[in-house]
């Protein structure tokens, strides 16, 4: 016997299919056991599978799983979850509230131009030295680096970022000094780009993802780095994943950051869970 569960696949931070970052969204009556949710995420085999459970008229509990681990924050799957609720699940309110285990309450509202705007925390950052091990694993030496939620590495030009071919196996064991989920998670960026303020890529072998196409959580840190380094509070950003990529707009406000973008549904169906 099988239990059918609703499933949507969404391209987040995208204006059409085949752009942005893929997420699977599964509205549930209650969370499944952790090992089952992880197994489903591995079966879905996209960057994140998000599970949402309604708790009120405008609120849901939200959890995110890569094919390998549960993560404490995921931007693109949050955007995709809100897109599903607004577009497919009949939510007619103005703002959706998601309660999470490690990132507190996250809200998403619909803007007049059709984008969805997320309100996320943006944690502190610290400038750190670039080690020879990191430079060797990335295949190029950053000009400056910061530690925070992830390892942020700045390069001189967008072309240098696009040309990176890191040693992912080596990168997986490296990160910001100390412990945390930041190990094996590297955001690489440069100011400028084609009609944008900053161009970046995000390598996450430490989270089971070689390279992520469009990463909201990374942009919560990138927004703070760009503010402290260049004095820019509002950014148009492009994550230059080869063949896809995604546009993410950010507005840093104190210890919070607004992240906005479009999403597109590509699949609607059922996941048949063995009973």
Alpha carbon distance 151, 162 (integer Å) = 18
Write out the CATH class of domain 2-122+260-274.
alpha beta
Instruction: Tell me, yes or no, if the two domains 2-122+260-274 and 126-246 fold the same way.
Output: yes
Q: What is the reported pLDDT for 210?
A: 94
Q: Strand runs (DSSP E) across 29-121, as ranges?
A: 48-54, 59-65, 70-71, 95-99, 105-110, 116-121
Q: What's the whole-model pTM score?
A: 0.90
| Lowest model confidence (mean pLDDT) among 21-25, 100-104, 206-210 | 206-210
Q: What is the reported pLDDT for 183?
A: 86
Mean pLDDT across 208-215: 92
Q: What is the reported pLDDT for 181?
A: 53
Q: Are 6 and 265 in contact (CB under 8 A)?
A: no
Q: Check pLDDT > 90 for residue 182.
A: no
Q: What is the reported pLDDT for 180?
A: 52
Alpha carbon distance 199, 154 (integer Å) = 10
Give the strand pairing for 70-71 and 198-204: unpaired
Q: What is the reported pLDDT for 207?
A: 85
Q: Check pLDDT > 90 for residue 178.
A: no
Residues 71-98 have pLDDT tens digits of 988 999 999 999 999 999 999 999 999 9
Architecture of domain 126-246: Roll (3.10)
Q: Report the mean per-residue pLDDT for the chain.
A: 95
Q: What is the reported pLDDT for 177?
A: 77
- The SS3 call for residue 127 is strand
Alpha carbon distance 270, 3 (integer Å) = 9
Q: What is the reported pLDDT for 218?
A: 95
Sketch the domain layout of the chain as residue ranges. 2-122+260-274, 126-246
Alpha carbon distance 188, 160 (integer Å) = 10
Alpha carbon distance 130, 58 (integer Å) = 45
89 is catalytic: no
Mean pLDDT across 195-212: 94
- Kindly state the greatest CA–CA separation across the chain: 58
Which residue, chain included where needed, has tokens 């950053």?
142
Measured in whole angstroms, the distance separating CA 228 from the mean position of its chain's CA atoms is 21
Q: What is the reported pLDDT for 179?
A: 53
Q: Check pLDDT > 80 for residue 269.
A: yes
User: Catalytic: which of 19, 48, 70, 211?
Assistant: 48
Mean pLDDT across 192-204: 96
Q: What is the DSSP letter of 31?
A: P
């Amino acid at each position: 016997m099988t239990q059918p569960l609703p499933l949507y696949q969404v391209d987040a931070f995208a204006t059409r299919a085949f752009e942005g970052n893929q997420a699977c969204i599964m509205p549930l009556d209650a969370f499944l056991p952790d090992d089952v949710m992880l197994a489903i995420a591995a079966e879905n085999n996209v960057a994140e599978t998000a599970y949402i459970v309604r708790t009120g008229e405008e609120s849901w509990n939200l959890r995110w799983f890569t094919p390998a681990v549960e993560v404490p924050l995921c931007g693109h799957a949050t955007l995709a979850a809100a897109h599903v609720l607004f577009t497919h699940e009949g939510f007619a309110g103005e703002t959706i509230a998601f309660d999470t285990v490690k990132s507190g309450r996250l809200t998403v509202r619909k803007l007049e131009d059709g984008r969805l705007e997320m309100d996320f925390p943006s944690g502190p950052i610290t400038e750190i030295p670039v080690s020879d091990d990191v430079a060797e694993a990335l295949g190029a030496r950053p000009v400056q680096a910061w530690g925070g939620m992830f390892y942020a590495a700045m390069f001189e030009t967008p072309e240098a970022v696009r040309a990176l071919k890191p040693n992912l196996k080596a990168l997986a064991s490296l990160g910001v000094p100390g412990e945390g989920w930041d190990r094996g998670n590297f955001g690489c960026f440069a100011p400028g780009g084609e009609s944008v303020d900053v161009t970046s890529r995000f390598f996450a072998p430490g989270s089971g993802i070689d390279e992520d196409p469009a990463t909201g959580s990374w942009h919560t840190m990138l927004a703070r780095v760009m503010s402290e380094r260049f004095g820019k509070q509002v950014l148009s950003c492009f994550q230059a994943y080869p063949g896809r990529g995604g546009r993410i707009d950010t507005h840093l406000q104190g210890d919070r950051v607004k992240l906005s973008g479009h999403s597109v549904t590509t699949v609607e169906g059922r996941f048949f869970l063995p009973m």
